[in-house]
Amino acid sequence: MNQTLDRWRAAATRHKEKVVKLPLLSSLYGRIFAIFWLTLLLVVLTLVLLPILDPRTQHTIPEPDLKRFQASAESVGLRLADDRGPLSQRLLRFAHHSRRKGFQLYFTSTEGEILAPDGRNKALRNFITMADDPTKPRQRLYGRWMMAGPFTISTQPEPVLMYIGRFWHRPPPFFIQILDKPFQLLLVTMLVSTPLLLWLAWAVSIPARRLQQAAERVATGQFEADPTLEAGPREFRQAGASFNQMVRAINQTISGQQRLLSDISHELRSPLTRLRMATALAKRKQGESPELDRVDTEAERLEKMISELLELSRMQSHGQEQREHTDARSLWQEMLEDARFEAEQSQKHLDYGELEAWPLSGNPGLLISALENVVRNAIKYGRDTVQIRFTPGAAQLTIQIDDNGEGVPDNELSDIFRPFYRVSTARDRSSGGTGLGLAITDSAIRQHNGTVSASRSPLGGLRICISLPLDPHRP
């Protein structure tokens, strides 16, 4: 018994899984489905209603016109009875007489044979094939000529049918004019469907634009969850929730990395401090020696490397914090004056040209550090000249830093921004550089949506080119 119940439950579960769920308006595909069927419904209703409203199709005669036509048929019947002569001649006289009054009477036999007037009449022949029941008179428009009938007239030896034709003075309805012109019909169809399509485009584009903007913020280092992403159609809500979950996971990873680096820094600095203290005590007891000097130098270099590595890590983790609107002069004027003073102490000349208040937006500390690292490298490795040029454009500020030192081999220009990279020449090896200064610059500039590149300088040394976007919200 239990096995039978289990099989029944399993079959019921499979049946539920196979049931196709109806699309809901809260989902994107449900909205597309609804708009498709709504548009199709409007088209079908239009196709159904147009024949009813089109006077060129058969319609029942309006009640006032029907009574007037029936009265005319009775009057014609009485006058035909009072007239003398063959029936065909009497009918022909009535047909010619009615033409002079602005309308035309047509007479046919009950079998559909045209009795009067003489001649071929395409509208009449077409109409009598569709309207031949006197108990249900109809009317139809042929161009500007309206046909109505039939109406029974009692004559001897047999009754005849009368049709009335008259000129249609009313202009064709607007929708008839549109139907007769395919281009106008297409234009009206587009105008009618535009609100629905605009609503669908809005339903798709707004959440997609929010998701795009959130992705751009993440690309610039702003790892912040956005609650507005979890609104709109169901598919975008799910994508927004997944995106926010990803951002939170990245933040947790970065925080864990930062804590790990901080712990490593603390654990490494403690033995380094003890090592340098031991080196100082050894020098005090044994005096100066090349070996102790080498140990102290390497310990100092290792401590500096750890400090720069932590600075790079903090920059990558918190680079988007404390962003503000500022300008180039406020950022770099003081730093460049200090750098010029240091260059003069080394018998070198630093020229940074004209520095104006070009608008910028970002983390002031990172922007100052980014340019300072490059300028101090140029002072260190340049022989006697360092040139800095600021060139504002329509949307970005370009900074070129040139020195006349030994430069960097062309095949290594793209590698000098990698952490811990040291060129094959004596530029870094002789000075004991850590290889992190330009990596810090590259990270800071990229976090501000800028670019940094290296090339050979016209002065003979190295040229570093930095491009930063100008702040569009400030003049």
What are the Cα distances from residue 105, in Å, to 96, 144, 158, 161? 8, 16, 18, 10
Q: What is the identity of the amino acid at 318?
A: H
At 381 the three-state DSSP class reads: helix
- SS3 letters for 54-100? CCCCCEECCHHHHHHHHHHHHHHHHHHHHCCCCHHHHHHHHHHHHHC
Is 133 in contact with 163 (CB distance < 8 Å)?
no
* Sign of the CA dihedral running 30, 34, 37, 39: negative
Q: How far apart are the first and last CA of the chain?
A: 83
* 59 tagged catalytic: no
- SS3 letters for 432-457? CCCCCHHHHHHHHHHHCCCEEEEEEC
330 DSSP 8-state letter: H
State the DSSP H helix or E strand holding residue 234, giving kind and residue range, or none if neither.
helix 234-286
- Phi-psi region at 232: left, alpha or beta (left = phi > 0; alpha = psi -120 to 50): left
Q: Which residues, including other chains, have CB under 8 Å from residue 23's CB and lie 6 or more apart? A: 29, 30, 33, 34
Alpha helical stretches, state H, 121-233: 122-130, 174-179, 182-219
Residue 113: which of 160, 147, 176, 181 has the closest Cα?
160
* C-beta atoms surrounding 111 within 10 Å: 8
- Residue 227, preceding peptide bond in cis (omega within 30° of 0): no
The secondary structure of the chain in percent helix, strand, coil, rounded to multiples of 5, reads 55, 15, 30
- The catalytically annotated residue of 266, 325, 448, 473 is 266
Could you give the residue numbers annotated as active site? 266
